[in-house]
Amino acid sequence: MATVLTLAGDGIGPEIMTQAVAVLKAVNEKFELGLTLEEGDLGGAAIDRAGVPLPEDTLQKARAADAVLLGAVGGPKWDGIERSIRPERGLLKIRSELGLFANLRVAKLYPQLANASSLKPEIISGLDLLIVRELTGGIYFGEPRGIRTLENGEQQGYNTMVYKTSEIERIGKVAFELAKIRAKANGTAAKICSVDKANVLEVTELWKQTMIKLQQSEYPEVELSHMYADNACMQLVRDPKQFDVMVTGNMFGDILSDEAAMLTGSIGMLPSASLDENGKGMYEPCHGSAPDIAGQDKANPLATILSVAMMLRYTFKHEVSAAAIEQAVSDVLDDGLRTGDIMDSDETGLTLVGCKQMGEAVLAKLG
């Protein structure tokens, strides 16, 4: 029997998780998926209980589970504590302990929310872009790192950006494979854009060369292009529909995926998946713990609910239940239900709802 570990986390985490778990339980029953749900803590909640952001019992449960569903971690309460045990460290650690090296973020514009984007409709309509980010290497994990005092007494901060060929090949394969799957589903040509800074960073020169070799040896049918990270930032707002799959390292991926998220108008709509080599994954919304609205029933639970759909698709290979959830989300948007983050006061026929009501509406659509 397969197990899903839920980690609600902090801030709006428990509110959005309640709604996502209700949806997961409903599809579990409806489609007889046979999933068992377990709970654990991570981030600030774990610091409060166990003194560390990723307690050993949580890690054990996560290792034993087939998939992990996460809300969000962090908040002002823990901002002042020592850096090495801050909530976000728990997140970085669980990703690396589980070997979740591939982060997938879809930036998709729901037609019902076309007005939510700050870009003109003709630039953004129909956007459906996938960013594949390397998650367990690069500058966020490279050693040496730290802050040291120089001979003249001045302080110097330093980090190291490192990638081995095997790490680049591993993430490259994920991107090439997904480009093929998406192309087949959409009836288009498969293409990926590899983002680097090969003009100034040797580590990304190796990245670029490795992607070229991979394409030539294993994926000649997939079109491969390259773009410098700074240009990619500009192109994402100038003409985002030129991209289908973007693949990049940890730091550039962090920045580009947040930028892509904003193209769609609300970070409250965007799910993500982080996968290991065997398809085990951690699924979470792209947003953080939103302390400014926590506990007020204002959070949009749809990104977490859509993360459940990703989990069913990528880890449990159950397309029908994944598609059912996505359809239910689209249906509630069609009905005009909106949480505050996706509300457009100029549009008629919309109803402002809270987190709970939005979750219940999705459940009702699922029947």
The nearer residue to ligand NAD, 91 or 214, going by C-beta atoms, is 91
- Least distance from C-beta 73 to ligand NAD, angstroms? 4
Q: Which stretch binds ligand NAD (CB under 6 A): 27-35, 114-122, 132-140, 289-297?
A: 289-297
Q: Are 266 and 116 in contact (CB under 8 A)?
A: yes
- Rule CB under 6 A: which of 107-136 touch ligand NAD? none
DSSP string for residues in 61-124: HHHHSSEEEEEE---GGGTTS-GGGSHHHHHHHHHHHTT--EEEEEEE--GGGGGGSSS-HHHH
Is 356 a known active-site residue?
A: no
- Least distance from C-beta 75 to ligand NAD, angstroms? 5
For position 268 contacting ligand NAD by CB under 6 A, the verdict is yes
- Least distance from C-beta 86 to ligand NAD, angstroms? 8
For position 91 contacting ligand NAD by CB under 6 A, the verdict is yes
For position 292 contacting ligand NAD by CB under 6 A, the verdict is yes
Phi, psi (degrees; rounded to nearest 5) at 75: 160, 165
Q: What share of the chain is helix, strand, coil (3-state, %, to 5)?
A: 50, 20, 30
For position 41 contacting ligand NAD by CB under 6 A, the verdict is no
Give the burial string for 318-356 (b: 16+ CB within 10 Å, else e). Answer: beebbebbbebbebbbeeebbbbbbbeeeeeebeebbbe
Is 230 a known active-site residue?
A: yes
For position 299 contacting ligand NAD by CB under 6 A, the verdict is yes
288 is in an annotated binding site: yes
Q: How far apart, in whole angstroms, are the C-alpha atoms of residue 96 and residue 176?
A: 23
DSSP string for residues in 261-306: HHHTS-GGG-EEEEE-TTS-EEEEESS---GGGTTTT----HHHHH
301 is in an annotated binding site: no
Among 161, 222, 341, 362, binds ligand NAD (CB under 6 A): 341
Among 4, 35, 46, 73, binds ligand NAD (CB under 6 A): 73
Is 258 a known active-site residue?
A: yes
The nearer residue to ligand NAD, 198 or 328, going by C-beta atoms, is 328
Q: How far apart, in whole angstroms, are the C-alpha atoms of residue 256 and residue 16?
A: 25
293 is in an annotated binding site: yes
For position 102 contacting ligand NAD by CB under 6 A, the verdict is no
**DSSP E strand stretches across the chain:** 3-9, 36-40, 67-72, 102-108, 128-134, 146-149, 155-158, 191-196, 223-228, 245-248, 271-275, 281-285, 337-338, 351-352
The nearer residue to ligand NAD, 116 or 224, going by C-beta atoms, is 116
Q: Are 134 and 275 in contact (CB under 8 A)?
A: no
359 is in an annotated binding site: no
- Least distance from C-beta 230 to ligand NAD, angstroms? 22
Is 341 a known active-site residue?
A: no
Among 89, 95, 133, 287, binds ligand NAD (CB under 6 A): 287
Phi, psi (degrees; rounded to nearest 5) at 217: -85, -35
Q: Which residues are annotated as a binding site for NAD(+)?
A: 75-88, 288-300
Task: Write out the residues near ligand NAD by the rule CB under 6 A.
Answer: 12, 72-75, 88, 91, 267-268, 284, 287-293, 299-300, 303, 339, 341
Q: Which residues are annotated as a binding site for Mg(2+)?
A: 230, 254, 258
Q: Which residues are annotated as a binding site for substrate?
A: 95, 105, 133, 230
Catalytically annotated residues:
140, 197, 230, 254, 258
